[in-house]
A and B are shown apart, each in its own frame.
Chain A
């Protein structure tokens, strides 16, 4: 990279080093962002892209390197310094007060007052409205956060940053929770902001969005700076190769399904969530042997309750759940497991693992009381170790020989491999995978998709529940769209279009 005589960069980070424990997560990373551009930071999970941005926002202190904002060297002591220098950040998990209105959330911490102590809500609302109009952010300032969609909440976060005078806006994985339509709207908003002279930094691992929205892209791999490229000069697969470091298959290679008899059947299921509100409102579908059934939908439309109902974590108010003809609803979780259903929960650390147990002990979480792992109530550690050793090798769980280590020390991808290996070892007739690749990098995702396909090809049924539309489109044979507690439409994969599913997910219909 050579310097021509162009205007000063909005952000310049030089030789950033960050060490966690004794492990370097950022090793001499550079970043130059032109003023008024959209700049993507691309990297796999754990590559260090979020860490880099957290350093820019003052959440972490770098162990080496310098930061310049608009040509001025700044020491980012904390987020307040960052805000004062005109940096705003929208985190992946929104930080909003649910019961406050949009306007109240935006001014929180920077309240306009009259007479020194009294909240001037009218003035505040005017300021907020002015911002909304200026950038075409469609939000009602009087709506309560709990009543508005996730996409709107994100806009509130953006407004919050703008209200604090941000010129440089960092968006951490902004599209993770959005529908395809909302993503398009977000890209529009980003363009409006840039036209007004703002600088946008996007952390992401989604290649098509980079192509659609960004001007430049900086790639980080395992804490190392790889390159900064002009997005229009490279293809998606170039970006993927730079991110992963080797050639990757973006599409899942798979054969056509060969379905046989129905293995699993959910009929007219009704269930309530923890608050007692009905969230499953007559949900039905069937899965055949040798079929992957994918449920696509936006978070909060009943996916969580569906999994909990099948696994008997909650009771249902009506309807049936049948595996191989046997009804299992309203029994016990143990009954679900012994009836031939294995599940991978979306919340890996909370529901899938005992973090303080060793890898090998985690392998027998559902079989510890069975021969050969225990005989007459006594644990046979040798048998457990042998089994774990075999699985670690078969599934290539790293680091090699980690059986005796605490599982909390493994990376997310390897933890997930342990869970999948454990569940498949039960030889289930139905494997349920909910968000199985959440937070994993491209290599691990490929691996897990392959395992799901293997299971299908063995003549088992697979239920894939995912918030990532790409994943459902790629992996499933049959796609059911869930909206408001029902499967609103079902279609074979080859007839599905992203556009139609996107509309159905948001409650629209294809005929509109």
Chain B
């Protein structure tokens, strides 16, 4: 009993149950819609693990949302809800793109420079929301949503400017090839490369995708975030404010300064996400958009499924990316609508939100056992 309840109490248990519930719910809906759920879900798993190419694509899809997820998780440790990650992502992507178009250095300088530009833009945009909160007590969710729209239309405005707009497309010029994080971008276009890819089907399959070094940078930034949070005095301060700002204030910690700094770092992560997307993915340019791409907003779900842990975001980001990508096979293999995937993600998030109920259930079970024992003892003693 005790072993079982302590297993129930582990945070990861709730997340796993939530994910299983997500699949179960999707299966039920598929069955109701007249599809064979086992067939459909196996098609989906096939679409995730079936070929090296699929997995490479999933990693490419997951890279930005791992970082925006980490951005949301980091801010959440301080009690802030960074819904503005979308806007910070857009600003990061825009700044990265403009830098990549105008500057052309060797890759060793170009890539860090573009990354820095994206991070700086995201950080400033995040700091703006933090400043509004610290100075005027404007809730970061409200300002975040507004700033997201401003970012989107500002990005569209810049994209349409003659200096950057590539004729006959809906976007800017691509950045200089020296800023690509895809592996061997120049070599890939050669005859020799084509021959190599034919001879090595496994590597070739991966090389034909946008698979890029972004994931390494993303993981490094996630590890850095986790290190800052748990190993530095700055992180201690930040977690103290997030956990109980009143006690932190009474202990002499400057809460307002911490709000701005946290939003700045969260923005930096989201901005890095935008920069990595520009450097890693075709068409390596900012496109004019009519609605949010959702890389920032999906970060909310990623952080949530990761239970607010930066490192957890790596796994939940991959899960999320896998579901989005594998979900496409639902459509062309069994003909089921891809919206099923959104239902699944929604269900998972829903059950993750509900997972606090599991320790309560464990308490109830222990309570019942303890009461029974006490009553039995007394009855035994009195009879």
B378 at the interface (CB under 8 A from A): yes
CA A81 to CA B278, docked complex, whole Å: 67
A350 in complex: contacting residue of B246, B252, B370, CB < 8 Å:
B246
Nearest to B240 among chain A residues (CB) is A354
On whether the beta carbons of B231 and A378 are closer than 8 Å, the reply is yes
Known A-B contacts A354-B243, A357-B240; the reply to A333 vs B250 at CB < 8 A is yes
A residues less than 8 Å from B367 (CB atoms): 19-22
Contact pick for B247, options A28, A365, A379, CB 8 Å:
A365
Q: Contacts of B237 on A, CB cut-off 8 Å?
A: 368-369
> Are A24 and B370 in touch, CB under 8 angstroms?
yes
- Contact digits for B217-244, partner A, Cβ 8 Å, 1 yes 0 no: 0000000000000011111110110011
Q: Is B146 an interface residue (CB 8 A)?
A: no
- What 1/0 flags go to A32-67 for Cβ under 8 Å of B? 000000000000000000000000000000011000
Given A361-B236, A379-B231, A336-B252 contact (CB < 8 Å): yes
Tell me the complex Cα distance, A363–B293, Å.
46
Tell me whether B371 is interfacial, beta carbon within 8 Å.
yes
Q: Cβ of A21 and Cβ of B252 under 8 Å apart?
A: no
Q: Is B288 part of the binding interface, using a Cβ–Cβ cutoff of 8 Å?
A: no
Interface residues of B, dominant DSSP: helix
Q: For residue B369, which residues in chain A have a CB less than 8 angstroms away from its CB?
A: 22
The answer to whether A318 has its CB under 8 Å from any CB of chain B is no
Given contacts A63-B371, A378-B231, A351 and B250 within 8 Å (CB-CB) = yes
Q: Which residues of B contact A27 (CB under 8 A)?
A: 374
Whole-angstrom distance between the alpha carbons of A351 and B244 in the complex? 8
Cβ-defined contact, A334 with B252, below 8 A: yes
Closest beta carbon of chain B to A223's beta carbon, Å: 11
Instruction: Kindly state whether residue B249 has any CB partner on chain A within 8 Å.
Output: yes
Given A19-B367, A353-B247, decide whether A368 and B233 contact each other with a Cβ distance below 8 A: yes
Chain A contacts of B370 at CB under 8 A? 19, 21-24
Residues of A close to B252: CB separation below 8 A: 332-334, 336-338, 366
Q: Report yes or no: B250 in contact with A343, Cβ–Cβ below 8 A.
A: yes
User: Who on chain A is nearest to B246 by CB?
Assistant: A350
B363 and A21 contact, CB distance less than 8 A: yes
Does A356 reach chain B (CB closer than 8 Å)?
Answer: yes
Check if B251 is an interface residue, CB within 8 A of chain A: yes
A28→B371 CA distance, assembly (Å): 12
Q: Look across to chain A and name the residue whose beta carbon is closest to the beta carbon of B373.
A: A22
B375–A350 CB distance below 8 A: no
Smallest distance from the beta carbon of B69 to chain A beta carbons, Å? 22
The answer on a CB contact under 8 Å between B233 and A350 is no
The residues in A between 292 and 346 inclusive whose CB is less than 8 angstroms from any CB of B are: 311, 313, 332-334, 336-338, 343, 345
Query: Taking the nearest CB of chain B, how far is it from the CB of A387, in angstroms?
Result: 14
- Give chain A nearest CB distance to B287 CB in angstroms: 41
A356 with B371: CB separation less than 8 A = no
Chain A residue numbers with a CB within 8 Å of B253 are 334
Q: Which residues of A contact B251 (CB under 8 A)?
A: 333, 337, 365-366
Say yes or no: A353-B244 contact (C-beta < 8 A), given A333-B252, A366-B252: yes
CA distance A60 to B175 in the complex (A): 67
Tell me if A17 and B243 are in contact (CB < 8 A).
Answer: no
Name the B residues within 8 Å of A377 (CB-CB): 232-234
Contacting pair B249 A350 (CB below 8 A): no
- Measured as residues with beta carbon below 8 angstroms from the partner, the interface class of chain A is 35 or more
A355 adjacent to chain B (CB < 8 Å): yes
- Total A-B contacts with CB atoms under 8 angstroms apart: 100
**Chain B residue, CB-CB nearest to A336:** B252
- Residues of chain B with a CB closer than 8 A to A333's CB: 249-252
Tell me the bound Cα distance from A20 to B254 in angstroms: 39
A352 on the B face (CB < 8 A)? yes
Distance from A131 Cβ to chain B, minimum over Cβ atoms (Å): 41
A313→B240 CA distance, assembly (Å): 17
Which residue of chain B is the closest to A356 with respect to CB atoms? Answer: B243
Give the docked Cα–Cα distance between A201 and B182 (Å): 78
Question: Is there contact, CB below 8 Å, between A24 and B374?
Answer: yes
Q: Which of B277-314 contact A (CB under 8 A)?
A: none
Please report the C-alpha to C-alpha distance between residue A449 and residue B75 in the assembled complex, in whole angstroms.
Answer: 42
Cβ contacts under 8 Å, A374 to chain B: 232-233, 236
Measured between alpha carbons, how far is A146 from B369 in the docked complex, in Å? 47
Name the A residues within 8 Å of B249 (CB-CB): 313, 333, 351
Report if A19-B371 is in contact (Cβ < 8 Å); known contacts: A353-B247, A368-B233, A377-B234. Answer: yes
- Return the CB mask of B351-377 against A: 1 if under 8 Å, else 0: 000000000000100110111001100
Known: A351-B247, A353-B247, A355-B243. A28 touches B378 (CB 8 A): yes
Q: Mark A362-401, 1 if CB is under 8 A from B, else 0.
A: 0011101100011001110000000000000000000000
- Whole-angstrom distance between the Cβ of A314 and the nearest chain B Cβ: 12
B248 on interface, CB distance cutoff 8 Å: yes
Closest to A20 in B: B367
Contact A369 B233 (CB under 8 A): yes
Complex partner residue of A352 from B235, B239, B250, B371, CB under 8 angstroms: B250
A181 to B119, CA, bound (A): 66
A366 (CB) vs chain B CBs: closest residue: B251
Closest partner residue, chain B, to A312 (CB atom): B252
CB distance from B332 to the nearest CB of A (A): 47
**Known pairs A350-B247, A354-B243, A357-B243; A63 contacts B233 (CB<8 A):** no
Provide the bound-state CA to CA distance between A368 and B230, in Å. Answer: 13
Per the bound structure, the CA–CA distance linking A63 and B373 in Å amounts to 12
Please name all residues of chain B whose beta carbon is closer than 8 Å to the beta carbon of A23 when the two chains form the complex.
370
Cβ contact of B232, chosen from A332, A361, A379, cutoff 8 A? A379
For A311, give the chain B residue with the smallest CB separation. Answer: B250
Question: For the complex, what is the distance from the CA of A345 to the CA of B252, rounded to whole Å?
Answer: 13
In the bound complex, what is the Cα–Cα distance between A369 and B240 (angstroms)? 13
Q: Which residue in A22, A64, A334 is a CB contact (below 8 Å) of B375?
A: A64
Q: Give Cα A368–Cα B241 distance, bound, in whole angstroms.
A: 13
Q: How far is B256's CA from A332's CA once the two chains are assembled, in angstroms?
A: 13
Q: Mark A1-32, 1 if CB is under 8 A from B, else 0.
A: 00000000000000101011111100110000
Contact of B244 among A21, A354, A368 (CB under 8 A): A354
A21 touches B247 (CB 8 A): no
User: A332: which of B235, B254, B374, B378 is its contact (CB, 8 Å)?
Assistant: B254
Contact A17 B375 (CB under 8 A): yes
- In whole angstroms, what is the CA distance A355 to B243 when docked? 8
- Bound complex: CA of A351 vs CA of B248, how far in Å? 8
> Residue B233 contacts which of A20, A24, A338, A379 (CB distance < 8 angstroms)?
A379
B residues less than 8 Å from A366 (CB atoms): 251-252
Write the nearest CB–CB distance from B242 to chain A, whole angstroms: 9
Proximity bits, B244-278, A CB within 8 Å = 1, else 0? 10111111111000000000000000000000000
- Jot down 18 A-B pairs with beta carbons below 8 A, ordered by A: A17-B371, A17-B374, A17-B375, A19-B370, A21-B363, A22-B370, A64-B378, A311-B250, A332-B254, A334-B252, A334-B253, A350-B244, A356-B243, A365-B240, A366-B252, A368-B236, A368-B237, A379-B233
| Pairs A-B, 8 closest by C-beta atoms | A334-B252, A22-B370, A374-B233, A351-B250, A333-B252, A365-B251, A369-B233, A63-B371
